[in-house]
Homo-oligomer: A and B are copies of this chain.
Amino acid sequence: MNTSSSEQKWQRRKEDRPAEIMTAGLRIFADRGFAATRLEDVAEAAGVSKATIYLYFASKAELFAAIVRDIAVPRFDEIEKLLDAYDGPSADLLSFVMDRLRDIATTTQLPALAKIILAESHNFPEIRAFYRDHIILRGFGNLSRILHRGIEHGEFRPCNVEAAVQSIIFPILMNALARNTFGELPQLDPDGFFAAHAEFVMRGLAANREA
């Protein structure tokens, strides 16, 4: 594996190591799941030794959490920044956020990681607690804010907000999980699905138009 001209066994690249390890870890975790992923394979893919992983991450579970955090946190931050600043119709705000969720579900590996949580967190309580507190509750909270706002403004009908949050998010998540698991069943085609689900949601939330 050495380049021909150099006899160097390794280089100091303190800045880049964590990102390289996380990139390698993401690919292998998403492919094989948590338990089946060997840190030695992650190390090899990242071009470091197994021990080097432990310089930057306290444990396998911490590495996994860091990977999830790296994907999720910037997106949540962006969404929350918008929520704080926004001052238009709640339906538009909800549409925008649902579009972002679609992007996350279709362009990142977060669904594959969510699958790992569902599948294996029974054996690994640390990763479950992290995902519950930093992903689920945070995501629920953000959507909940939008719905409460819309209800207060009379744009959405009063309803069980915690339940509505699930009616909105779970199809998006589960569609991604199902595609991840069953491949491209025509029923699961994301293009048609997301537009239709957004329409469905808007009608489900619409305030009664009365005279």
Interface, chain A (partner B; CB < 8 A) = 33, 115, 117-122, 128, 132, 136-137, 140, 157, 159-160, 162-167, 170-171, 173-175, 177-178, 181-182, 185-188, 192-193, 195-197, 199-201, 203-206
The answer on a CB contact under 8 Å between A117 and B181 is yes
Asked if A185 meets B118 with Cβ closer than 8 Å, knowing A167-B196, A173-B174, A196-B159, the reply is no
> A189's closest neighbor in chain B, by CB?
B162
How many monomers of this protein are in the complex? 2
Q: List 24 A-B contacts (CB under 8 A).
A: A33-B122, A118-B118, A118-B177, A121-B181, A128-B181, A136-B185, A140-B187, A159-B196, A160-B192, A162-B187, A162-B193, A164-B200, A165-B187, A166-B174, A166-B188, A166-B197, A170-B171, A170-B173, A173-B174, A200-B204, A200-B205, A203-B204, A203-B206, A204-B204
